[in-house]
Every structure is written in C-alpha cells, then in structure tokens.
C-alpha cells in the first residue's frame, strides 16, 4: 500500500513564509469593538428615551381616562367627556409621535457620524496593514530569490 505524505511540515513551512501582522489584526479588533461600544451606547440611549416617552404617554392617557370614567349628572356630559378625551388623545398622539421622530432622527444622525468615523479609521488601519504586508512579502520574496540563487 502507498503511504500518504504528511503535509504538516510543508504547511508549517509555507505558513511561516507568509508573515502575518497580528498587531494589525489587534488594531482592527480594537477599532471594531470601539465602534460596537459606541453603537450600543446610541441604541441604549434611544431605547431609554423611547421607553420614558412611552411611559409618559401611558400615564397621560390614564389620567385622561380618569376624567372620562367619572360619573356625570347629565347624559350630554358623557358625550362631551368622550369628545374631549378623543381630542386630547389625538393631540397627545401627534406630540408623542413627533418626539419619537426626534429620537429616531438623533439615532440616525449619530449612527451616520459613527459609521463615517469608523470607515475612516478602518481605512487607515487597512492601509497601514496593507503597506506592512506588502513590505514583508517583498522582503520574503527577495530573501527567497536570494536563497534560490
């Protein structure tokens, strides 16, 4: 039977010939984690503001329902209280939806700023890594060419 060749040593030598810049990888990781941290802060801030706004809206609605559910002396007073509740609820909905839109607009603006900054940082990091890798590969190729002669 034919024995298969063990490529472990060959692969080890081949991978050793291609230098890997772990510092560049670490910088990319740090840049990515910094972006993730900032994006999480934006998200959590927006979630907090949204939940505060929702709670405020719910409290206001419950307060208006209190007035709606009180006993009235005249039947016409019930119709008036329902109309007042509907009118106040529509006005509150408009105000609160505008506030939600402001939160969303702020998130969009902050996200865009973060992504633009991260793109610039990553581009600089990649450029640095690429230059170093090019220099390392060129040096390795020259060394291999010199050794082959």
Q: Note the pLDDT of residue 48.
A: 97
In a domain, 31, yes or no: no
In a domain, 30, yes or no: no
pTM of the predicted model, to two decimals? 0.65
pLDDT at 94 over 90: yes
pLDDT of residue 90: 95
| Residue 61: inside a domain | yes
Residue 3 to residues 6, 50, 51, 119: CA-CA distances in angstroms?
9, 68, 68, 51
Does a structural domain hold residue 7?
no
In a domain, 27, yes or no: no
Instruction: Report whether 64 contacts 85 (CB < 8 A).
Output: yes
- The total of structural domains in the chain comes to 1
Domain extent for 111: 39-125
In a domain, 34, yes or no: no
Is residue 146 domain-resident? no
């Amino acid at each position: 039977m034919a024995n298969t060749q063990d490529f472990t040593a060959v692969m080890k030598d081949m991978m050793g010939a291609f230098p890997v810049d772990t510092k560049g990888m670490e910088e990319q990781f740090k840049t990515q984690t910094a972006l993730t941290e900032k994006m999480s802060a934006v998200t959590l801030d927006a979630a907090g503001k949204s939940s505060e706004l929702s709670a405020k809206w719910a409290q206001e609605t419950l307060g208006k329902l209190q007035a709606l559910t009180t006993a009235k002396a005249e039947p016409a007073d019930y119709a008036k209280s329902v109309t007042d509740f509907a009118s106040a609820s529509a006005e509150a909905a408009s105000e609160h939806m505008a506030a939600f839109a402001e939160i969303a607009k702020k998130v969009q603006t902050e996200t865009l700023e973060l992504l633009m900054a991260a793109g610039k940082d990553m581009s600089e990091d990649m450029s640095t890594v690429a230059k170093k890798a090019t220099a390392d590969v060129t040096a390795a190729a020259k060394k291999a060419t010199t050794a082959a002669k």
